[in-house]
Amino acid sequence: MAEALRVGIAGLGTVGAAVARVLEQKAGELTRQCGRPIVVTAVSARDRKRDRGADLSGAQWFDDPSELARKAQIDVFVELIGGDEGPARTSVKTALEAGRHVVTANKALLAKHGVALAEIAERRGVLLNYEAAVAGGIPVIKTLREALAGNSVSRVFGILNGTCNYILTRMEAEGLSFDDCLADAQRLGYAEADPTFDIEGNDTAHKLSILTSLAFGTKIAADDIYLEGISNITQADIRAARDLGYRIKLLGVAQKTDSGIEQRVHPTMVPTASVIAQVNGVTNAVAIETDILGELLLSGPGAGGNATASAVVGDVADIAKSRPGFQHGPVFGWPAKELKPYKKAKMRSHAGGYFIRLTVHDRIGVFAAVAKRMADNDISLESIVQHASDSAEAEKTVILITHETTEAAVRKAVDGITRDGHTTSKPQVIRIERAA
């Protein structure tokens, strides 16, 4: 049997502790599957006394994760610290430059420095694995990087944040407000005390930028993503979507267009009958559209200690199965130096059109003025529905469903309606997406 694979873990929080437990509890199975033992020989954490549920008495402790990466007798450095700078970046870079394989669950680090780190890994001939960085336990990175060889990807999209999906699911199922659902998510540990990063779409954007690079061979461009969160979604939107046969999900979408690559994160209406509409709670789902295979949908736990630990251990096991002299594939599917500069596409037409909710004054001529603004911008309407307002004010709610049109046309029409003085509150615009 080959020598043991020596692993160093930096960060023993929820995920790091779960990784240590899985490696200990599944040691026999992993040895049989990989043809060699996997042993944790070094760790770095703030609190040495805390019980992590695993025996780490034989591991060497380091206060500084970069010291672990540089000096420890390890083959694989597992980074579970978090953050795009500081100890996480320094220790990962140190490990790669020292010729050690790296496994990370750090989406923020990869979104900001992934290409530079990939260049180091490929120059040093080591692996940089990051399955746990996107969609938790769902093997979407391996699918894009390895399983779809020969396929050309045209679009990748999905539910990439469990917190947002949990909130939208509860809002629909129980008729709760956004604020009530968020408070409950925080109480249950699904949302942070400061939930901004999740609910405003930043977390999804980081994950999407990594998928975009894998799918289309471009450099990571996390700052070039159209971003819209879910904090402005109301029960009026939820009810209107249900009445029209849709469900609202926060989607990250990346697709190839004639003018470049389009990346966007925003609330989206998907048909209730679609598979992705059935993905509820904290579950994640990723759909990949290709020329050979067609459409593939992967779904499963997107966060949590065990789900993330499963992906981390899978990455470690892949390294254990490799042997000296084996030529490793590129980190992002293409050699890092050959990744194309990201060319941002113009916001294009969206198949299925747009949902527009207007709260307008209940007076003669408003309905005709709204229709005229749409016509002036060449927007064809599939349906128009009027509802009396829930408030005591003299106002009505107008729901418009458009045929396929452009982002610019919709925004121009809505801005015109607002300037005309017909609206009593900010209009709501939600894209309608064809979905798996």
Structure tokens given for 363: 């007076």
How far, in Å, CA of 420 to CA of 411, rounded?
Answer: 14
Q: If you search the block for the tokens 């982002």, which residue do you land on? A: 407
Which is the catalytic residue, given 207, 249, 256, 396? 207
How far, in Å, CA of 222 to CA of 141, rounded?
Answer: 17
Q: Catalytic annotation on 207?
A: yes
Q: Which of 252, 273, 46, 270 is nearest to 157 (CA)?
A: 252
The full DSSP string for 142-181 is HIIIIITTTPPEEEEEEE--HHHHHHHHHHHHH---HHHH
Chain centre distance of CA 412: 30
Q: Which of 268, 272, 302 is nearest to 285 (CA)?
A: 302
Q: If you search the block for the tokens 């966007």, which residue do you land on? A: 264
Structure tokens given for 20: 């240590």
Q: What CA–CA distances, in Å, run from 8 to 101, 141, 321, 348, 392?
A: 10, 23, 17, 46, 64
Phi-psi region of 53 (alpha: psi -120 to 50; beta: other; left: phi over 0): left
- Burial of 420: CB neighbours in 10 Å, binned 0-12, 13-18, 19+: middle
Measured CA angle at 168 (ends 166, 173), to 5 deg: 95
Q: Say which amino acid occupies 193.
A: A
Q: Enumerate the active-site residues.
A: 207
